[in-house]
Amino acid sequence: MSSLIILGLIALFLSLKGINVLRIEQLSFITESKWEVLQDAEGKIAESTFGLAAMLIGTFLAALIAVIVGVPIAVLSALYLTFYARGSAKKLLVSLIDLMAAFPSLLFGFWGFIVLMGSAEYWAKLLNKYLGFIPLFDVPAPIFERSPFIAGLVLAIMIIPIVTAISREIFDQTPLDRIQAAYALGASKLSMIRAVVIPYGRGGVVGGAMLGLGRAMGETVAVYTVLNVVYQINWQILFGAGGNVASLILLKFGEAGPQEVDALMAAGLVLFLLTLIVNAISDILINRFGRRGR
């Protein structure tokens, strides 16, 4: 109940602060990709345009890369921990994954900037070399550093602990009689997992992936650290330019005037609603498929 009250207060605050901008910009706030504040000679605002489309596209791109890369690794990790790992090795691995979930975002960002960026840039060049005929992997200039691809990889590492934990919980609830029936029919452990565990836990895994997507969409500091924030629509994930809604708020907030602050609050409201919807869908899926094992 207290969580709902807090969420309601956050939504109310963002709505009150951003309502004027939303009333002026209307639908163009999420369909246009121009964010501009023009001042006259006296420093007063002469004209302003606020459109969030470029950052919304960047938000979904980086988050989708994170899900595509991170979810398979998380599911395989959950299967290994549930059906293969034993004893102290299992306890150690579970503890390490849980510890990763508690790491501050800034550490992931620094690690991505210092350690990951060099090797990720190499893989980005390979993708561009062999798949450059696909517009998604093409680049207008050979600039591969601080791209949405690298930001997505960092986000993938960040969501792995969350998706792994949820997938383990779902896999643990696989009915024992189904597992024993598969073994009685002569199935190996791998065959049992493919025939019983994966079909049973598919919906829960999708819910975990949605929860990871919500986490990736709302990430700020890690993305800001490894991504070259440029306000433009960029569908080319290997090119070193892009951004997301959260990084836009972080970038603009310190120097924003009152009207632009209201626009940033409206952007925060849009991001809040998007992540709330994604997380609500994930909770529904997890609860629905989790009850099957009870």
| pTM across the whole model | 0.88
35-39 and 45-50 strand pairing: antiparallel
pLDDT of residue 45: 66
Higher-confidence residue of 45 and 197: namely: 197
> 179, 89 in Cβ contact below 8 A?
no
pLDDT digits (tens, 9 = 90+) for 94-112: 888 888 888 888 889 899 8
What band does 293 get if pLDDT is binned at 50, 70 and 90?
very low
Give yes or no for residue 145 having a pLDDT over 60: yes
Superfamily of domain 56-293: MetI-like (1.10.3720.10)
- CA geometry: angle 159, 120, 56, nearest 5 deg: 55
Relative orientation angle of helices 53-83 and 245-253, to the nearest 10 degrees: 120
Confidence of residue 202 (pLDDT cuts 50, 70, 90): confident
Cα gap 256→125, rounded to integer Å: 37
Q: What is the mean pLDDT of residues 224-239?
A: 86
* Per-residue confidence band for 260, with pLDDT thresholds at 50, 70 and 90: confident
Q: Give the mean model confidence (pLDDT) for residues 176-198.
A: 90
Q: Which two tokens stand for residue 108?
A: 């992931």
Query: How crowded is the C-beta side of 194, counted as CA atoms within 13 Å?
Result: 5
Tracing tokens 């907030």 back to the chain, one arrives at: 253
What residues have CB less than 8 Å from 9, skipping those under 6 apart? none
pLDDT-wise least confident of 9-23, 194-208, 232-246, 275-289: 275-289
Would you state the structure tokens that stand for residue 215, as one six-digit string? 């986490």
Distance CA 105, CA 221 (A): 6
> CA-to-CA distance for 148 and 268, rounded, in angstroms?
20
Q: What is the mean pLDDT of residues 256-277?
A: 89
Distance set, CA 164 to CA 96, 205, 206 (Å): 12, 9, 12
Nearest to 51 by CA among 40, 65, 36, 72: 36
Write down the H helix ranges in 135-218. Answer: 148-172, 176-184, 189-192, 198-218
Tell me what the pLDDT averaged over the chain comes to: 86
Q: Residue 34 carries which side chain, given as an amino acid letter?
A: K
Nearest CA among 248, 243, 242, 166 for reference residue 202: 166
Which has the minimum average pLDDT: 2-11, 37-46, 53-62?
37-46
| pLDDT, average across residues 181-210 | 88
Compute CA distances 142 → 145, 238, 274, whole Å: 9, 9, 33
Q: By three-state DSSP, how is residue 47 classified?
A: strand
**β-pair partners for 50:** 35
Which of these, 225, 208, 274, lies nearest to 245 by C-alpha position? Answer: 274
CB within 8 Å of 60: residues ≥ 6 apart: 217
Question: How is the chain split into domains, by residue range?
Answer: 56-293
Residue 41 DSSP code: T
